[in-house]
Chains A and B, each alone.
Chain A
Amino acid sequence: MELGGNGGFHGYRRLPQNSSAGTKAPEISMEMPPQMNQTPNTNSVTDDTECTVREQDRFMPIANVIRIMRKILPPHAKISDDAKETIQECVSEFIGFITSEANDRCQREQRKTITAEDVLWAMSKLGFDDYIEPLTLYLHRYREYDGGERGSLTGEPLVKRAVDPGTYGFMTFPPVPFPMAPHHGFFGAPPMNGFLKDPSNAGPSQAAVAGIDPPHCKEQGLELLNGGGK
């Protein structure tokens, strides 16, 4: 399945255990080749499972990473490819680092499911206190929007929201200007202009869409929550 360009173009990258590989797979390659011998820089003979984990599974999509970086950097700034990849790797390391700590806590408390609270706790413990407040806010907003109010997957939830457009003017996720432009067509019909009665104000209308969780998240949530046990 095509990942929409966010995972398919790196091919296989050097892996931590792979001390001999120094070359990078060509960036043009699209779908992952099923067999590893197509990419010369992968040591497929090692017995580590790391080796069989595809790059697109190990890292966040580089396009997303770059987009976030560019928000911070001045317009004239350039980013070298190795810096982009380094940050990409750092993110995965960050996720693993926090997850390990959160998982340890779960195990100590004899729980099987890592919750959002565990993640927040782990971050705080590992020194990322500054993140806690914005994350808590973010989670809170997410729960308010998506706690139970998901409309049909085909998406008429915007109609529901039309009942009280006033509250959505400021009910945004404040810290993050979501790159919402591509989302106008999210539900196939963007009635946002009429709905919010303020077509020129891209902020709130985008924020209203921002509050609508894409279907896959809920599916995931349900499948995890249903499958998760204590």
Chain B
Amino acid sequence: MRQPGAYSRLLAGGISGKTGPHSLPLARIKKIMKNSSDEVKMISGEAPIVFSKACELFIEELTKRAWMMTLQAKRSTLHREDVASAVMNIDIFDFLVNLVSENSGKSEDPQPVTEA
């Protein structure tokens, strides 16, 4: 994996890849937002900024929960199944149920998709 130099990423300028103090690249967030739906038209400049922080919180929470599953299984390597278990256990992560159970190759007990 090529590690960017301390300055090369910052001084590269432009929109892509620059993390700045927001830690997650805003341009990428914007792209993902736009890709989520054809109906998304304009995005204010601040929305990706909120997302950069929100994604950080999200990753932290999901990681924490997944790690708890890892510990329960008495392992020290966090696996995809731990993430899947965490998702199954937490209501607000219901939107991830399909994502973590697809491509897993094994058919777990299909969680009923709750209606919104």
Binding site for B on A (CB under 8 A): 1-9, 14, 16, 22, 27, 30, 53, 56-61, 63-65, 67-69, 71-73, 76-80, 82-83, 85-87, 89-100, 102-103, 107, 112-116, 118-120, 123, 126-128, 130-131, 134-135, 138-139, 142-143, 173, 176, 178-186, 188, 209-222, 224-225, 227-229
Given contacts A90-B99, A128-B54, contact A116 B49 (CB under 8 A): yes
A185 interface neighbour in B3, B7, B70, B100, Cβ under 8 Å:
B7
Chain B residues within an 8 Å CB radius of A221: 44-46
Chain B interface size range: 35 or more
Q: Are the CB atoms of B45 and A222 closer together than 8 Å?
A: yes
Majority DSSP secondary structure for residues of B touching A: helix
Chain B residues within an 8 Å CB radius of A181: 6
Q: Are the CB atoms of A60 and B33 closer together than 8 Å?
A: no
Q: Are the CB atoms of A69 and B59 closer together than 8 Å?
A: yes
In the complex, A79→B66 CA distance in Å? Answer: 11
Chain B residues within an 8 Å CB radius of A90: 58, 62, 83, 87, 96, 99-100
In the complex, A38→B6 CA distance in Å? Answer: 32
What 19 additional pairs, Cβ within 8 angstroms, besides A1-B14, A86-B99?
A4-B17, A5-B4, A6-B9, A7-B16, A7-B17, A30-B2, A59-B28, A61-B17, A69-B78, A78-B77, A80-B78, A83-B66, A94-B55, A112-B41, A126-B92, A138-B53, A217-B20, A225-B45, A229-B42
Q: Are the CB atoms of A57 and B92 closer together than 8 Å?
A: no
Chain A residues within an 8 Å CB radius of B36: 95-97, 99-100
Q: Are the CB atoms of A86 and B83 closer together than 8 Å?
A: yes
Q: Are the CB atoms of B13 and A80 closer together than 8 Å?
A: no
Chain B residues within an 8 Å CB radius of A229: 42
Chain A residues within an 8 Å CB radius of B21: 173, 178, 180, 183, 209-214
Q: Are the CB atoms of B53 and A115 closer together than 8 Å?
A: no
CB distance from A91 to the nearest CB of B (A): 5
A-B contact pairs, 30 of them (CB 8 A): A4-B12, A6-B19, A7-B17, A60-B28, A61-B25, A68-B59, A69-B59, A72-B63, A76-B76, A83-B82, A83-B83, A85-B80, A86-B84, A93-B96, A94-B96, A99-B33, A103-B37, A114-B47, A115-B44, A116-B44, A116-B47, A116-B49, A128-B58, A139-B50, A216-B13, A217-B22, A217-B45, A220-B15, A228-B42, A228-B44
